[in-house]
């Protein structure tokens, strides 16, 4: 019986320690915005910029990557305004709805933040 009590105490202590660690490492809204801007910038550079024709690039007299880099503050502002955070103490769920107009496709992202990391589990085009 004593062994069972010790094991129960050890399991309860482990769960409590994990809970404290998770609550202490639950990422903030600012950290999510940095993550989202980095991911969106990476996507724009690797996908959208490569599809940009040379004609448009010459007309703009600059490369697409430089344009994306220069708009990071605006991208962050859009992400900030379109993100809803639900904080569950041990982790947070972030829902971002990037619907920028009727002529551009919209995107919805759902991301979990825990242990100072993010995992985007849903990304869909509307």
How confident is the model over 32-90, as pLDDT tens digits? Answer: 999 999 998 888 878 777 776 555 655 554 577 788 888 889 889 999 999 999 998 88
pLDDT, residue 124, reads: 87
**Mean of pLDDT values over 21-25:** 76
pLDDT, residue 30, reads: 93
Whether residue 33 lies inside any domain: the answer is yes
At 103, the pLDDT band (50, 70, 90 cuts) reads low
Whether residue 113 lies inside any domain: the answer is yes
Pairing mode, if any, of strands 83-87 and 117-125? unpaired
Residue linked to tokens 């920028």: 100
C-beta of residue 21 within 8 angstroms of C-beta of residue 33: no
Whether residue 15 lies inside any domain: the answer is no
Asked if residue 102 has pLDDT above 70, the reply is no
Q: Give DSSP secondary structure letters for the chain.
A: -HHHHHHHHHHHHHHHHHHHHHHHT---HHHHHHHHHHHHHHHIIIIIHHHS-HHHHHHHTS-HHHHHHHTHHHHHHHHHHTEEEEE-SS-EEEEEEE---SSS--EEEEEEEETTEEEEEEEEE-
Whether residue 3 lies inside any domain: the answer is no
Whether residue 109 lies inside any domain: the answer is yes
Whether residue 53 lies inside any domain: the answer is yes
Q: Give me the number of domains the chain comprises.
A: 1
Asked if residue 121 has pLDDT above 90, the reply is yes
At 122, the pLDDT band (50, 70, 90 cuts) reads very high
Computed on alpha carbons and rounded to an integer, the radius of gyration of the chain in Å comes to 21
Its domain, for residue 30, covers 26-125
Whether residue 98 lies inside any domain: the answer is yes
Asked if residue 96 has pLDDT above 80, the reply is yes
Q: Is the pTM of this model over 0.85?
A: no
The overall average pLDDT reported for the chain is 83
């Amino acid at each position: 019986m004593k062994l069972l009590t010790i094991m129960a105490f050890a399991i309860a202590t482990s769960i409590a320690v994990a809970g404290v660690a998770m609550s202490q490492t639950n990422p903030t809204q600012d950290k999510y915005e940095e993550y989202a801007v980095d991911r969106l910038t990476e996507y724009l550079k690797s996908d959208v910029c490569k599809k940009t024709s040379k004609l448009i690039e010459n007309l703009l007299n600059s490369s697409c990557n430089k344009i994306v880099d220069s708009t990071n503050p605006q991208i962050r502002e859009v992400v900030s305004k379109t993100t809803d955070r639900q904080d569950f103490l041990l982790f947070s769920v972030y829902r971002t709805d990037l619907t920028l107009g009727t002529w551009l496709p919209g995107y919805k992202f759902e991301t979990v933040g825990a242990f100072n990391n993010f995992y985007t589990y849903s990304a869909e085009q509307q």
